[in-house]
Every structure is written in structure tokens, then in C-alpha cells.
């Protein structure tokens, strides 16, 4: 139970960090948003951002679960960080890279929802948003 409570508290804290990052993005302070994302990877997942950026979407969940013993809680945190990166890249008009991070966030959200075996309106709403954004980006890139 301790582990679960700890992960839930971390997810709540991450929500505040993501809100701050999105605030920086909306104000056009991309440098501060980028630095906050870098710090969040280290603070919440104890790994450098480059480690997570290097994992291809095809190997994403297997790599993290099998080789690194990440839990669904860790994956949810990573999904939020990928989402923040995607939003930052989108705001910077780097649509190709943005699409990659939206897709990674979507894959993780779908995996976690499937593994949890329970329905979450919040998670389903996030998945719908990501699917919509991905479709929009694919249409504008092609």
C-alpha cells in the first residue's frame, strides 16, 4: 500500500509540474518549459531525459517494464512528460517531433488503461485528445 500511495502522491505532484510547464509554454517561455521538463525526468523517474527520448515507440512499454521494472505508475508519469514535450515541440512548430511524443504518450496511456482493467474517464479523455492531436498533425505534415 505504501508504494501505491507514494506513486499517487508523485502523480499529483507531477500534475502541478505539468500545469506549470504548460503555463510556461502558453506564455512563450520555451526555455523555462524545457528546463522544467528536463528536471521532471530526473525528479520523478530518476533518469536523464535522453534515456527516455532514445527509446523508440515500438519498444517503449517492453523496454521499460521488462528491462527496467517500471510500474504502471511510472508509465503514467512518463506519459505526462511525453505529453509536455509534445506540447512544447508543437508550440515551437516542430510538428514531426511533436507527433512522435504524442504517439508515445498515446501508446503508454492505452497500455496503462488496458493493464488496469478498469475504466477511467480521465484516461479515456486524455486518449481521445491525443488521438485527435495525432490525426491533426498527420494531416498537416503529409
pLDDT tens string, the chain, 142 residues long: the values are 446 677 677 778 888 999 999 999 999 999 999 999 999 999 999 899 999 999 988 888 787 877 777 888 888 899 999 999 999 999 999 999 999 999 999 999 998 888 887 777 888 899 999 999 999 999 887 6
* C-alpha radius of gyration, the chain, whole number: 15
How big is the CA angle at 49 (ends 42 and 89), to the nearest 5 degrees? 125
**What residue ranges do the domains of the chain occupy?**
2-141
| Alpha-carbon distances, residue 45 vs 22, 39, 63 (angstroms) | 19, 10, 15
Spatial CB neighbours of 109, under 8 Å, sequence gap ≥ 6: 79, 123, 126, 127, 130
CA distance 95 to 90: 6
Does the pTM surpass 0.85? The reply is yes
Q: Side-chain half-sphere of 51: how many Cα atoms within 13 Å?
A: 11
Q: Side-chain half-sphere of 104: how many Cα atoms within 13 Å?
A: 30
Spatial CB neighbours of 83, under 8 Å, sequence gap ≥ 6: 18, 101, 102, 105, 126, 130
Amino acid at each position: 500500500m505504501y508504494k501505491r500511495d507514494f506513486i499517487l502522491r508523485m502523480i499529483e505532484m507531477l500534475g502541478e509540474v505539468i500545469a506549470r510547464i504548460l503555463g510556461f509554454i502558453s506564455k512563450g517561455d520555451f526555455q523555462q518549459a524545457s528546463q522544467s521538463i528536463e528536471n521532471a525526468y530526473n525528479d520523478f523517474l530518476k533518469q536523464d531525459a535522453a534515456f527516455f527520448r532514445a527509446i523508440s515507440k515500438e519498444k517503449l512499454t517492453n523496454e521499460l517494464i521488462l528491462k527496467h521494472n517500471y510500474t504502471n505508475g511510472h508509465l503514467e508519469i512518463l506519459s505526462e512528460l511525453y505529453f509536455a514535450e509534445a506540447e512544447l515541440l508543437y508550440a515551437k512548430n516542430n510538428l514531426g517531433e511533436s507527433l512522435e511524443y504524442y504517439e508515445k504518450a498515446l501508446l503508454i496511456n492505452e497500455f496503462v488503461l488496458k493493464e488496469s482493467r478498469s475504466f477511467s474517464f480521465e484516461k479515456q479523455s486524455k486518449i481521445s485528445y491525443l488521438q485527435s492531436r495525432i490525426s491533426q498533425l498527420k494531416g498537416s505534415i503529409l
